[in-house]
Chains A and B, each alone.
Chain A
Amino acid sequence: MPVTSNMPPAYQRFSPEQLKGFLKKMLLVRRFEESAEAAYMRGLIHGTMHLSIGQEASAIGICSALSDSDFITSTHRGHGHCIGKGAEVKFMFAEFFGKEDGYCKGRGGSMHIADPSKGNLGANGIVGGGIPIAVGAALSAKMRKTDQVVVSFFGDGANNEGAFHEALNMASIWKLPVVFVCENNLYGMSTSTERSTAVKNIADRAVAYSMPGVIVDGNKFADVADAAHEATLRARRGEGPTLIESKTYRTRGHSRSDRNRYRTKEEIESWMNHDPIDLFEADLKQFKLLDQDEITALRAEVENEIAEALEFANNSPSPSLAALTRDVYTVI
């Protein structure tokens, strides 16, 4: 029987089976990225990638409040958002390998995975590029009189882009059903928020746009999920946007070119001791929602899925060169 005293609302709102599903997704994100990194190290990948290892609770916690008909816009560091919004790792690997079976048929790569059938409007390579697009999707949801909400994921770097400010202002004046989720991992590439950002907390910027600004520990699934729950309810009630600042950390570098010259080993290690998957598993065990045997079985299941997905991607055909210009236009 679950222990309910002191249990965060998220653990009461979701069934143990649902919580297990979220843990599975976090594990999938982690193993997808570790496998991607391994493939990269072995020279199998020619493009770039941005790993979100350490940020899994943020992605999956936010998406726990969304249904397939809700929308997200994502970022260059978006693997977790994709999996959170229902992407299958085999099609993600295929895209990462540049194959025809990939989500973007090999045209986008790791940085642009999209799946409109699940409401994923795409990971965007331009910092801040997805934020106004999310506001447009929210305007669309409101004008079409649906109860869809839109989540716009972005990083701390994007909060100094003009697009962020313009988009938050418009979402607020039009009371649109959008949740802005700033995953503050402390660095925009190498530049710390301390050096780049005039406010202490990015959530403080919500005041300027008359919306709630909420700070959560982005490495704690329940904290993130509860904030997302409140913000999406507010959005669905027609009360307008919320800015959530999810404080987290990427334990890997910005991209493959990163030599970690701007932060210390000690800092990275201290965050690794605050690992979102470890924290979530400890919680689930503490509240007797899941036991160690189930977790072990779940990890094995994820391992199998990853292995099968890698095989699928390896066997997927490359795009035909004759199809180079396909899909530039719908009709010429």
Chain B
Amino acid sequence: MVSEVRELSYAQAIQEAMAIALEQDERVFLMGEDIGVYGGAFQVTGDLVHRFGPDRVRDMPISELGGAGVAVGAAMTGMRPIFEFQFSDFATLAMEQIVNQAAKLRYMLGGNISVPLVMRFPAGSGTGAAAQHSQSLEAWLAHVPGLKVVQPSTPHDAKGVLLAALADPDPVMIFEHKVLYKSKGPVPEGYYTVPINKSETRRIGRDVTIVASGIMVHKSLEAATQMESEGIDAEVIDLRSLRPLDIPAIAASVKKTHKLLIVYEGVKTLGIGAEVSAAIAESDAFDFLDAPIMRLGGAEVPLPYNPELEKAAVPQVPDIVTMVRRLVQGAV
């Protein structure tokens, strides 16, 4: 008898992680907008309020700045809050507490206080929600020392990263892609963690390294599969953690493939691709490169509503295929 691997959706996996944490650790509580009986805008908290009550699955007023500060204060004084932004875009309202407070208090106060805070950010485009509900702002936060920023791409990682974040004494920002919430994948039962400082090689290949984050991991894997028939063997690395960045793993891959493409949904300019590119250019992998490092990122535009325009504003599978072909054929 082969036991079938249990599959859960990305949203269910996150919910299961939160349920395990709520069950195991009385310091853990959730706060956010409409996360109680409504179940969260993307049904990630679902029916948790019925299992754990409204104190621990706490609806808050529409007060992102104040709410984020409440989470910081609770984290500083013995609790383990998990704060849900309804949309990652609304983090712009709470930047003061995230950037000036959560990220800095430990260092600024001489290491005497930790802020074990977990924040969840439903991010990304593809839902027709237009410019104020579709952004990928993870690079903003990854710029700030004191924060850890992760971007899980699979249900397995979404659960394990959340449990690892809760075990971490420092603030961890988790960017979840809204389009991935319904995607399914194998998820082990019970407690496990996924390291929040390591990338994951999703496909081993020899011709080109594709470093991707979030939903772009899936698009890159699809592109890699399409290119098999052309004899192009792409390696796909899921970045998973934006701060800290796992540069050694990427450098090792580049030394093998001699070519690097970085694919991410956030706006291309000054995005995560620039940092990965620069870090590899500065590393001992530079001498192994046979082609310029290339980036595919979001267009320099507020995300549009029209579905065709919206798709055109972020990298798609054909864009990745085209770019990889050019890299492999020496056309860049």
Q: A129-B101, A135-B66, A140-B78 are in contact. Are A115 and B72 (CB under 8 A)?
A: no
Known contacts A141-B77, A331-B170; A122/B96 CB under 8 A: no
Kindly state whether residue A240 has any CB partner on chain B within 8 Å: no
**Interface bin, chain B:** 35 or more
Contact A331 B169 (CB under 8 A): yes
Q: Which of A110-147 contact B (CB under 8 A)?
A: 112, 114-117, 121-122, 124-126, 129, 131-141, 143-144
A300 is an interface residue with CB less than 8 A from chain B: no
Is A266 in contact with chain B by the CB < 8 A criterion?
no
CB contact under 8 A between A104 and B110, given known A126-B101, A135-B69, A139-B74: yes
Q: Which residues of A contact B70 (CB under 8 A)?
A: 132-133, 135-136, 139, 167, 170
Bound form: Cα–Cα A162–B66 in Å? 8
**Interface segment, B57-65, B84-92, B181-189, B294-302?**
B57-65
Q: Which of A116, A124, A167 contacts B112 (CB 8 A)?
A: A116
Q: Are A140 and B101 in contact (CB under 8 A)?
A: no
Q: Is the CB of B168 closer than 8 A to any CB of chain A?
A: yes
| Contact assessment for A107 and B108 in the assembled complex, using a CB-CB cutoff below 8 Å | yes
Q: Any chain A CB within 8 A of the CB of B109?
A: yes
Chain A 141-169 near chain B by CB (<8 Å), digits 1 or 0: 10110000000000000000011011101
| Interface status of A329 (Cβ within 8 A of chain B) | yes
Nearest Cβ distance between residue B195 and chain A, in whole angstroms? 11
- Residues in B248-299 with C-beta less than 8 Å from chain A: none
B168: which A residues are within 8 A, CB to CB?
330-331
* Whole-angstrom CA separation of A125 from B145 in the bound complex: 18
Least CB distance from B114 to A in Å reads: 6
Nearest-Cβ distance from residue A231 to partner chain B, whole angstroms: 18
B139 within 8 A of A: no
Beta-carbon nearest neighbor of B113 in chain A: A116
User: Any chain B CB within 8 A of the CB of A103?
Assistant: yes
The residue that A144 contacts in the complex, of B78, B105, B148, with Cβ under 8 A, is: B78
Tell me whether B66 and A134 are in contact (CB under 8 A). no
Report whether B68 and A328 are in contact in the complex, using a CB–CB cutoff of 8 Å.
no
Known contacts A108-B110, A122-B113, A132 near B61 by CB under 8 Å: no
On whether the beta carbons of B79 and A140 are closer than 8 Å, the reply is yes
Number of interface residues of A (CB under 8 A): 48
Chain A residues with CB under 8 Å of B112's CB are 103-104, 114-117
Asked whether, in the complex, the Cβ of B66 is within 8 Å of the Cβ of A166, the reply is yes
Let me know if B72 and A122 touch, CB within 8 A: no
Beta-carbon contact of A169 and B66 below 8 Å: yes
B225 within 8 A of A: no
Q: A136-B71, A327-B107 given as contacts; is B96 within 8 A of A167 (CB)?
A: no
Write out, one digit per residue, whether chain B residues 117-148 have a CB within 8 A of any chain A CB (1) or not (0): 00000000000000000000000000001101
Would you call A121 and B77 a contact (CB within 8 A)? yes
- The listed residue with most B CB atoms (<10 A of its CB), out of A115, A116, A139, A329, is A329
| Contact of A330 (CB < 8 Å), options: B69, B78, B145, B170 | B170
Q: How far is the CA of A60 from the CA of B125 in the complex (A)?
A: 53
Minimum Cβ distance to chain B for residue A133 (Å):
4
* Minimum C-beta distance from B35 to chain A (A): 15
Cβ–Cβ contact A129 & B110, under 8 A: no
The answer to whether A136 and B101 touch (CB under 8 A), given A163-B66, A331-B168, is no
B67 close to chain A: CB less than 8 A: yes
**Which residues from 96 to 111 on chain B have a C-beta closer than 8 Å to any C-beta of chain A?**
96-97, 100-101, 105-111
| Given A162-B65, A166-B61, A167-B66, CB of A332 within 8 Å of CB of B108 | no
> Is B69 within 8 A of A131, CB to CB?
yes
Q: Does B48 contact A (CB under 8 A)?
A: no
Residues on A with beta carbons closer than 8 Å to the beta carbon of B108 = 104, 107-108, 112, 122
- Among B66, B111, B244, the residue within 8 A (CB) of A132 is B66
Is B76 close to A, CB under 8 A? Answer: yes
Q: Is the CB of B97 within 8 A of A135?
A: no
- Residues of A with Cβ closer than 8 Å to B? 71, 73, 102-108, 112, 114-117, 121-122, 124-126, 129, 131-141, 143-144, 162-163, 165-167, 169-170, 173, 326-332
Residues of B with Cβ closer than 8 Å to A?
A: 29, 55, 60-61, 63, 65-79, 81, 96-97, 100-101, 105-114, 145-146, 148, 168-170, 197, 244
Between A and B, 5 residue pairs with Cβ closer than 8 Å are A129-B101, A132-B67, A162-B66, A163-B69, A167-B70
